[in-house]
Amino acid sequence: MQRLSLYFTAPSQVEVRSEPLPAGKPDQVLVAARFSAISAGTEMLIYRGQAPEDMAADATIDDLTGSLAFPLKYGYSLAGQVIDVADKGSRAWIGRWVFAFHPHESHFWVNPASLHPLPPDLPPEDALFLPNMETAVNFLQDAEPLIGEQVVVFGQGVVGLLTTGLLARTPLAQLLTLDRYPLRREMSLAWGADASLDPTEPDILARLQEALRDHDPAGRADLSMELSGAPDALQQAIDITGFAGRILIGSWYGRKPMRLNLGSDFHRNRIRLISSQVSTLAPRLRGRWSKARRLRIAWDWLARLHPAELITHRVAFDQAPQAYALLHTQPQEHLQIILQYPTKD
């Protein structure tokens, strides 16, 4: 049996290759992919050649072994159905819809312990947002937004919008967001932001301060979140955050150059920078929280928010190179792009 697999082969190059499907090991099940979601963050850093090639792909995900050097398979958001079992495998799995943290490919054998059965009545397109929803939950756990605080979120891509959706259900005084693209700003308002601004406007800091003065005479945020992936946004977050405020940094910049001005108000204002990454839990939470518990919260919020409405493009798997080119050249035209696989097994 042949399968189709997506490979990152060089900067700005991906290929869909046909290759033999290996035999399953005892107790494994065979999953046929139906949909997978392209990450506009990490995957696009790899696609553009901006990821450190000597870095491990992901030490916490079994199916992401090796480094980020070309050529490689990558991806971590796939929904499909179990269609077969190997020797000693449980046939009760056959036909079940499952989520897998797995690269983009049409078929793969896997131990069922690595799969996440979809909750009843949750569409598979909503399940594709599980990694980003877990990331958004992690951001809130690390940032600890308090009742009555003013929060500013830089970046309204998919993970930024999911974070906004969670923050909008927190009793804040004000929630402001920023993004370069009108489509994202419109969706940000629909998902609960009080206002959504363009960070490239020449007077953007003055506009932010004016909005924040409703609750703080100095016009400063209590908490800022940098989720845009743009290094310049971190400087804007520093400039708008108040005394003893917090800045959560959820972006991974890869090899993008970074320049910060830390010689002005940053030092005297005792601003705290918080690095946040979903592959681990904050040490202060580990006595009561586990990754499994956090993942259950993410499933719950998928059912509440139904983020499949953020899907703007559905692309056939064999046309995946065009999907990545669209992400690279026309980011203003999309929110979430998903790949659709042939249904013939």
97 and 183 share one domain = no
Q: How far apart are CA 312 and CA 323, in angstroms?
A: 12
pLDDT above 70 covers a percentage of the chain that reads: 97
Sorting pLDDT into bands at 50, 70 and 90, what band is 254? Answer: confident
> What are the Cα distances from residue 276, in Å, to 37, 134, 249, 296?
22, 12, 6, 19
104 and 137 share one domain = no
Structure-model confidence comparison of residues 138 and 52, the more confident one: 138
Tokens of 41: 């963050």
39 and 154 share one domain = no
In a domain, 247, yes or no: yes
Number of separate domains in the chain: 2
115 and 38 share one domain = yes
> What are the Cα distances from residue 106, in Å, to 19, 44, 79, 233, 278?
11, 21, 11, 37, 26
Residue 261 DSSP code = -
In a domain, 290, yes or no: no
Task: Give the pLDDT score at 31.
Answer: 98
Q: How far apart are CA 46 and CA 71, in angstroms?
A: 10
- 151 forms bridges with which residues in the sheet? 175, 223
Q: Which of 283, 298, 326 is the last residue of a domain?
A: 283
Q: Whole domain around residue 39: which residue ranges?
A: 2-123+306-340
Task: Give the pLDDT score at 263.
Answer: 79
In a domain, 147, yes or no: yes
In a domain, 28, yes or no: yes
Weakest mean pLDDT among 31-35, 53-57, 194-198, 220-224: 53-57
101 and 152 share one domain = no
**59 has a pLDDT exceeding 60:** no
CATH number for 96 = 3.90.180.10
CATH number for 163 = 3.40.50.720
Sorting pLDDT into bands at 50, 70 and 90, what band is 261? Answer: confident
194 and 101 share one domain = no
Indicate whether this model's pTM tops 0.75. yes
In a domain, 294, yes or no: no
Sorting pLDDT into bands at 50, 70 and 90, what band is 56? Answer: low
38 and 112 share one domain = yes
> What are the Cα distances from residue 242, in Å, to 163, 195, 201, 247, 257?
21, 19, 21, 10, 26
In a domain, 51, yes or no: yes
Q: How far apart are CA 96 and CA 41, in angstroms?
A: 30
Average pLDDT of the chain is 94
